[in-house]
Amino acid sequence: MLESSSVLLFIVFVLIFVLLLFTVLIRKNAAAVALIWHEIIREKITNFIMNQSKEQRILDFVLQNAVRGDPCSVVDTIDKYCSQKEWAMNVGNEKGIILDKTVEEVNPSVALELGTYCGYSAVRIAQLLKPGARLLTVEFNPKFAAIAKQMIEFAGVHDKVKILEGPSEEIIPQLKKKYEVDTLDFVFLDHWKDRYTPDTILIQECNLLRKGSVLLADNVIVPGAPEFLNYIRNNPRFQCTNYPSHLEYMKVKDAMEKAVFLG
Ligand SMILES: C[S@@+](CC[C@H](N)C(=O)[O-])C[C@H]1O[C@@H](n2cnc3c(N)ncnc32)[C@H](O)[C@@H]1O
């Protein structure tokens, strides 16, 4: 009798311990757990059931609910879909406001975006460009590039935006000759995080920065770009500012890093 009650007690203790361990792990990795749920499990199931990609669903929702030729309405409609229906890796509205302010401050003639995805940030940047200014946006996934093309056309900013399809490391060295770029006034880094540092170095090696060129990097906390932060903050040629914020469509902490090239 005594033996069976101590076994029971032991099992209860083990269960409580496992439960506590899970709670701590989930709390510590809330962002990772949420992203795995949204990006892998839920999305794959929905894609399978609907036989359609999430990015196509975002575009369809915009085509049905936004106003053609109105970039604000396109941005708002994407935010509505991604905050209410399915999470997606657009910069989102909270960090989008930081992006807008930076673009307004720089007032670029030539802007470069690394990572187009569905064209959300491209539409956001393009609507703030002065007449004659242009945005070059780089995307290596042809399916995303095709969605972004339709999104940008629907928003009515296609005359300001050119999608360059291919890996950033191949496109950057072509910017001067093939795309007639002298220097870049503004660069938005929002592609895979392990490319932030090598592409920043490549951009400098290709002489694409001028004194006062501004780089803005998204997601420096989540998924995180520690190597980039270490590189850029310890580089005397850049002056950095951090903008604490939250991961798109979530309460998880994230930040953007601005780096002004000092020449
Ligand atoms: C976070 S999403 C971009 C979101 C977009 N800037 C927005 O806010 O609407 C990152 C995108 O970068 C693309 N990407 C990642 N690494 C790349 C690379 N080296 N060259 C080109 N595109 C890349 C991915 O396919 C993905 O579509």
pLDDT tens digits for 30-39?
666 776 766 6
Domain ranges of the chain: 56-261
Q: What is the share, in percent, of the chain residues with pLDDT greater than 70?
A: 91
Q: Residues with beta carbon inside 6 Å of ligand 1? A: 89-91, 115, 117, 120-121, 138-141, 144, 167-168, 190-192, 195
Per DSSP, what are the bridge partners of residue 217? 189, 257
φ, ψ for residue 253 (rounded to 5)?
Answer: -70, 135
Per DSSP, what are the bridge partners of residue 112? 136, 187
The number of the ligand 1 atom at minimal distance from the alpha carbon of 89 is 1
Angle (CA) 134 73 112, round 5° = 20
Please give the Cα distance from 57 to 5 (Å, whole number): 56
Q: What is the pLDDT of residues 166-218, one digit of tens each?
A: 999 999 999 999 999 999 999 999 999 999 999 999 999 999 999 999 999 99
Q: Please answer whether residues 237 and 227 qualify as being in contact, where contact means their C-beta atoms are separated by less than 8 angstroms.
A: no
Q: What is the pLDDT of residues 41-59, one digit of tens each?
A: 778 788 888 889 999 999 9
Query: Quick check: 5 pLDDT over 80?
Result: no
pTM over 0.85: yes
22 C-alpha to ligand 1 centroid (Å): 32
Catalytic residues: 190, 193, 218-219, 248
The number of the ligand 1 atom at minimal distance from the alpha carbon of 115 is 12
When pLDDT is cut at 50, 70 and 90, the band that residue 225 belongs to is: very high
- The CATH class given to the 56-261 domain equals alpha beta
Q: What is the pLDDT of residues 92-137, one digit of tens each?
A: 999 999 999 999 999 999 999 999 999 999 999 999 999 999 999 9
Long-range contacts from 191-197, C-beta under 8 angstroms, 24+ separation? 191/114, 191/115, 191/138, 192/115, 193/219, 193/223, 193/224, 193/225, 193/228, 194/227, 195/114, 195/168, 195/169, 196/225, 196/227, 196/228, 197/225, 197/227, 197/228, 197/231, 197/232
C-alpha dist (Å) from residue 213 to 114, 142, 149, 183 = 15, 29, 27, 8
